Structure 1
Amino acid sequence: MNYRKQMDKIGIHLGKITKLYYECAKSQGLTYNTTMVLGALRHYQVCTQKQIVEEWGLPKQSVNTIIKKLFDDQYVEFSQGRNNKEKLVSFTKKGKIFADNTLQPILAMEEQVLQHIGEEECQQLEKTISKFAYFFEKEFLAYQQNQSI
């Protein structure tokens, strides 16, 4: 197998998917990062900004700015976490309605896509992507360690 060609093809597909998410966000009058933050909050219900940054791969400053705006618009609220530094973020009632309405078209499209793919292939896709992320992180950490020697 020519892994370089395979990775190039995967990269093209990932780029196309990301571009489509950008376009979906734009059609809702939002940025890609805002849409991803709304999706993360919808997924977790209650979480920290750090969780969103680390698990959704979004820039820390962008997440912070978006959360501040959502707070100013009364879409999110903060509660105390495990210690004085940790703040948990969650939707207000108004925010949940906003997120549900905003994300609905994207969620409906995603559901349709997954139905076209089928349950078995969806499970295999998730398993494969998870494995790719795991090994890529492992390789990246090894690369970083070699760079610091």
Structure 2
Amino acid sequence: MKNNQQQLTQLSRLTYQTEQLYRLWARQQGINFHQLITLYELYNQKQCTQKEIIRIWRIPKQTLHTVCDHFIKAGIIAVLPGRSADQRERLMTLTTAGQKLAQPIVTKLITFEDQLTNQLVPGSLQQAVETMSKFNHLFTETLKKN
């Protein structure tokens, strides 16, 4: 039991450190972490809503709203007609200027990540993803019961 607790503590610390490294990487690109994940999702998905980004990344609604509002005013994001009947769920896409901003950043990140993951033992990243996914699922289900 004690060993599990030590490993979970270590995993939590490493997860936090990884996020901090991505925050540093984003700053080196001249943007912040929340701008990075917004550009990343819009670049890869082509279109999505704020609600989808919030669900995927678990970031505060107001934080993402602030990022998107800034990008809309700067001409980086365009808002398309809403999906829902009341039009509150705004579908977003990158503008041409947004594509020009996002493409080199996202491509550079993917290349950087590929360089790093190629140094890992084959299959170890997939195993880590599967394990963390299972842990998060169990955690979520247990929380729902309590």
TM class by smaller structure = 0.7 to 0.9
% identical aligned pairs: 25
Question: Would you identify which runs of 4 or more consecutive aligned residues in structure 1 move more than 6 Å?
Answer: none
SS at match of 2:92: strand
SS at match of 2:75: coil
Letter of the 1:8 counterpart = T
- The answer to whether the aligner puts 1:65 opposite 2:66 as a matched pair is yes
What's the CA shift for 1:100? 1.3
Equivalent of 1:113 in 103, 113, 116: 116
Query: How far, CA to CA, are the matches of 1:125 and 1:44 in structure 2?
Result: 24
* Matching residue of 2:53: 52
Equivalent of 2:129 in 109, 126, 138: 126
Deviating more after overlay: 16-25 vs 37-46: 37-46
Q: For 1:85-124, what aligned pairs fall within 5 Å after superposition?
A: 85-124=88-127
What's the CA shift for 1:96? 1.2
What's the CA shift for 1:65? 0.8
Asked if 2 retains the 8 angstrom alpha-carbon contact of 1:70 and 1:76, the reply is yes
RMSD (Å), alpha carbons: 1.7
Query: How far, CA to CA, are the matches of 2:91 and 2:121 in structure 1?
Result: 36
Query: How far, CA to CA, are the matches of 2:46 and 2:145 in structure 1?
Result: 34
User: Number of aligned pairs?
Assistant: 143
* Matching residue of 1:146: none
Letter of the 2:89 counterpart = E
What's the CA shift for 1:69? 0.9
Letter of the 1:91 counterpart = L
What's the CA shift for 1:95? 0.4
Normalising by structure 2, we get a TM-score of 0.88
Unmatched runs of 5 consecutive residues or more in structure 2: none
Letter of the 1:111 counterpart = D
Query: How far, CA to CA, are the matches of 1:13 and 1:35 in structure 2?
Result: 20
Asked if 2 retains the 8 angstrom alpha-carbon contact of 1:40 and 1:56, the reply is no
Asked if 1 retains the 8 angstrom alpha-carbon contact of 2:117 and 2:125, the reply is yes
* Matching residue of 2:82: 81
